[in-house]
Structure 1
Amino acid sequence: MQRRFERKLIRACLPFFLLIACVAPAAQTEPVVQVDSVLTWSHPAPWFGGFSGVEVNADGTRLIAVSDRGRVVQARMVREEGRLVSLELEKNAPLKGPKGKALSGKAHDAESLARDNTGQLYVSFEHNHRVARLDSENGVTTPLPKHQDFAGFEPNAGMETLAAHPDGRLFTTPESGGPASGPFPLYAFDGNSWAITAEIPRRGPFLPVDADFAEDGTLYLLERTITPLGFRSRIRSFDLTAPALGEETLLTSGPGQYDNLEALSTWQDAAGQTRLTLLSDDNFFVMQRNEVVELILAKPGPGD
């Protein structure tokens, strides 16, 4: 339902999107984040698009992404002096169930991707809310145990986030959260079962759409809201061991500044800089694009 609402809103606001495309909005980026590259990733195949989850490898040369139409893709990240300039599609496969049959209908709606400290990939799905191990080479998924709360998540507002902590635990939070004014529950999987370990404060109209952990255990949360003038994105960071979770807002974009950013992966480059690679979900709609945005977290200066 919410996906249809998003598409209807996009079409209704089409004249505003065109205006925004012609007049770029002023950035609302806090000084701790630098925008390093923004590009559009395209491919003629009809299945290409709808990317909602991404993982970048340790040296930023390749990525794996999943789409909400049940596809896993692998691509080479082409860089010039460290800056991302293009992506080259290398492999793709339909997502499949444990017995190797391609997922279909609402069962194939993949929303997030995570890689643990052993290299194992995991994917989350909404509608039929679940998390599964993923073999990126053949697309086979093997479901993990569920928490009892998962069955109560809204049909199209479930586990849009999935992140692997350096200690091996998986974390997820639903897009819908609890009450409209309440926090978002953060679930952790210890290899056997899920449990709520924290609550992410709700700030304004933004909803969680992806998350990832850095090597130091910092959780980066990508959020989104929709306005008549276009999508807005926000990135917050959290320290799960700190009082009040050490919450910090790193970026808040203006309406239409970026497309429908739904996927986030964090990694560290050769210079020791933390980078955030973001992908947008184009909803397979002609007026949207599969946008790739790469950010660099500025290092604190002396005295900061």
Structure 2
Amino acid sequence: ERNPRVAQFKIDPHDMKPPFRQLDFLVPAWELRRNRGFETITHANPHGQHEGGLVVVSEKSLDKSGNIYAAVIEGPHKGVFTVKRNGNFDIADGAFLPDGDVLLLERSFSMARGVKIRLRRIYGESVEKGAVADGPVLMEADMSYQIDNMEGLDVWTRDDGALMVSLISDDNHSILQRNLYLEFVLHED
């Protein structure tokens, strides 16, 4: 997290090698704050506007307007964009939905209130060079719910066609945190 880079590896459990390619992440490296760089790396839908291109979003590297740096780094529409910062939430992870929108997992922490998380749906058409991407909050939860330091998100389709959202936390080897897996059905209505 302290050395901004996006690299590609050939996955071979029996013979892991160094990355075979470093990708240009387009956001100026000096704009990526220490320990606040890229948290989200996700592929766009292959049949959508970005044709499967790679999209990166930083955790909390802010432009002069207070928006979060992001970029489409592969595909036909490469370029830097930002995500509107909404409250004191930082971006933890994200994934494209089948319709081309992006689902972001955001979290907030304070000693007084503990951890909060939320899911925000970013309109896919706002994910483009020079734009400020934004969208509605779908869910927000605090420590009164069974959450923890949620850091990972995935979107997948169940056998019956239901669109699922999976969230996972990391205990960071702390007795104050735990590993937790949550699943939700994302209703499209």
User: Cα deviation per residue 1:58-97 (whole Å; 9 max; x = unaligned)?
Assistant: xxxxxxxxxxxxxxxxxxxxxxxxxxxxxxxxxxxxxxxx
In the superposition, the TM-score normalised over structure 1's length comes to: 0.52
- SS state at 1:205 partner: coil
1:80 matched to which residue of 2? Answer: none
Q: Structure 1: give runs of 5+ residues left out of the alignment.
A: 1-125
Aligned residue pairs total 174
Task: Output the amino acid matched with 1:254.
Answer: D
- The answer to whether the aligner puts 1:284 opposite 2:173 as a matched pair is yes
Is the aligned partner of 1:204 residue 2:83?
no
8 Å CA contact 1:211–1:264 kept in 2: the answer is yes
User: Partners in 2 of 1:244 and 1:150 — Cα distance?
Assistant: 20
Partner of 1:145: 24
Q: CA RMSD, aligned part only? A: 2.5
Give the aligned partner of residue 195 of structure 1: 79
Whole-angstrom CA distance in 2 between matches of 1:192 and 1:183 = 24
Stretch deviating more after TM superposition (198-207 or 142-151): 142-151
Written as runs of structure 1 = structure 2, the 5 A alignment for 1:28-43 is none
Q: Report the secondary structure of 1:137's partner residue.
A: coil
Counterpart pick for 1:224 among 107, 116, 134? 107
8 Å Cα contact 1:157/1:174 also seen in 2: yes
Code of the residue aligned with 2:4 in structure 1: it is H
Deviation, 1:239, is: 1.8
Counterpart mapping for 1:1-304 below 5 A: 126-138=1-13, 139-140=16-17, 141-142=19-20, 143-147=22-26, 149-166=28-45, 167-179=51-63, 182-190=66-74, 195-196=79-80, 198-227=81-110, 228-241=112-125, 247-255=135-143, 257=145, 258-300=147-189
SS of the residue 1:267 aligns to: strand
Q: Secondary structure at the match of 2:62?
A: coil
Q: Which has the higher contact order (CA 8 A, sep 6+)?
A: 1
Structure 2 residue runs of 5 or longer lacking an equivalent are: 46-50
**Letter of the structure 2 residue corresponding to residue 272 of structure 1:** G
Q: Is the 8 A contact 1:146 1:193 kept in 2?
A: no
Q: d(CA) in 2 for partners of 1:127 and 1:271?
A: 42
- The corresponding residue for 2:48 is none
- Between the aligned partners of 1:290 and 1:171, the Cα distance in structure 2 is 27
Which has the greater radius of gyration? 1
Which moved further from structure 2: 133-142 or 217-226? Answer: 133-142
Answer yes or no: is the 8 Å Cα contact 1:161–1:210 preserved in 2: yes
- Secondary structure, counterpart of 1:173 in structure 2: strand
**Normalized per residue, which structure has more helix?**
1
